[in-house]
Amino acid sequence: MAHMETDQASALRKKMKLRGDVQNPVNGVRTLAVVSGKGGVGKTNFAVNFAASLALKGCRVLIIDLDIGMANVDIILGESGGGTLPEMVENNLPAEAVIHNSRYKLSFISGGNGLGEIMAFDSGRRNILLKRLGELEGKFDLIIYDFGAGAAEDTLEAAAAADEMLVVTTPEPAAVTDAYSMLKLIHRKNESLPVRILVNKCRDEKQGRHIFNHLSKVCRHFLLKETMFFGSIPKDENVWKAVCSQTPYTVKYPGSKASRAVNAAADRYLSGSTVQQEASESFTEKLKGWLFQRN
Ligand SMILES: Nc1ncnc2c1ncn2[C@@H]1O[C@H](COP(=O)(O)OP(=O)(O)OP(=O)(O)O)[C@@H](O)[C@H]1O
Ligand SMILES: [Mg+2]
């Protein structure tokens, strides 16, 4: 990692660990799966800007692009380099060889072509993926999996093996209904998985809260599942403008409504108010569970 280790950053990490927010305090790295039912709700834009915001606050964040259809973290960032997850597996490379360290202080691994085959890998490839991603323990504070929309079996298994899941929806009824369907399927895989809900493209915060209240009531009623509000992001034309200039909106338009909402979500995440503290397996154990449960 080329990132500079500042006093502020190490103090922040210490704080996270002391609070118990990191699952494995020795080699801890949290994993957050970002999913949605409907496509185009803003998962990738949120993942990138949330990561950029956390990175500015001293957090070491890695995004792994797991969108089989359209891997596009690199396009939103306007950066390429590093390698791809399939290249890492096929050529048995160390994860560090395919990680791209962005100028925005976050890191990412591209999905690239052939991700579909990797996600449905044989045991030889699974072993390589496990070993290589396991080497990242302790090198990052947070790994964000950016998934494609929908509920392919591989997506469900991988998402259910993360430490926590972030379901992204918009206020649109079809997106909310699909978010619930997704939530139900992942809940069946892992009932104890902490689930947070982000409402994107809102008219205002009140609308975001309202949509969350509705969705969380349905989850409580039909799944006996408690969900948590991660926040809402307003619909903001600066997001689109930033996408077109291939720069995160938190960087290009730091004062915009969307940026302020993402920065606030990052602050809440770091202060632990959206984080549930639970003892759990280490990163490597979780990966193993995901990779080998289909044998
Ligand atoms: N808060 C927002 N305000 C306005 N437009 C937004 C906002 N968030 C995302 N968008 C727009 O929505 C579109 C889809 O965003 P994005 O690619 O992040 O969605 P996604 O959920 O990752 O899509 P996919 O399901 O294809 O992976 C983009 O054109 C983006 O500019
Ligand atoms: Mg996406």
- DSSP letters for 63-120: EEEE-SS---HHHHHT---S-BHHHHHHTT--HHHH-EE-TTS-EEEB--TTHHHHHT
Nearest CA, atom 9, ligand 1: 42
Atom of ligand 1 nearest to the CA of 202: 1
Helix (H, G, I), strand (E, B) or coil at 231: strand
Strand order in 30-35's β-sheet? 100-101, 107-109, 61-66, 142-147, 30-35, 164-169, 195-202, 228-234
Residue 52: CB within 6 Å of ligand 1?
Answer: no
CA 7 to chain centre: 26
Gap from CA of 179 to ligand 2 centroid (Å): 15
**256 in contact with ligand 1, CB cutoff 6 A:** no
Query: Which CATH number covers residue 72?
Result: 3.40.50.300
Q: Residue 34's closest CA among 193, 210, 198, 176?
A: 198
- pLDDT tens digits, one per residue of 243-266: 999 999 999 999 999 999 999 999
Residue nearest to atom 31 of ligand 1 (CA): 240
The answer to whether position 34 is within a domain reads yes
**Closest residue to atom 3 of ligand 1, CA basis:** 235
Amino acid 122: pLDDT: 67
Write the pLDDT tens digit of every residue in 25-57.
Answer: 224 678 899 999 999 999 999 999 999 999 999
**Pairing, β 100-101 against β 107-109:** antiparallel
| Residue 292 in domain | no
Ligand 1 centroid vs 165 CA: distance in angstroms?
18
Q: Which atom of ligand 1 is nearest to the CA of 234?
A: 1
Would 207 be classed as within a structural domain? Answer: no
Q: What are phi and psi of 72, to 5 degrees?
A: -145, 20
Encoded tokens for 151: 């509920």
Is 91 domain-assigned? yes
Residue 259 structural domain = 27-165+235-263+272-285
Return the pLDDT at 289.
67
Does 119 fall in a domain?
Answer: yes
Q: Of the ligands numbered here, which is closest to the C-alpha atom of 259?
A: 1
4 falls in which pLDDT band (50, 70, 90)?
Answer: very low
Q: Is residue 239 part of a domain?
A: yes
Number of domains in the chain: 1
If pLDDT is split at 50, 70 and 90, which confidence band does 22 have? Answer: very low
Q: Tell me how far apart the alpha carbons of residues 141 and 179 are, in angstroms, rounded to a whole number.
A: 27
Would you say the CB of residue 208 lies under 6 angstroms from ligand 1?
Answer: no
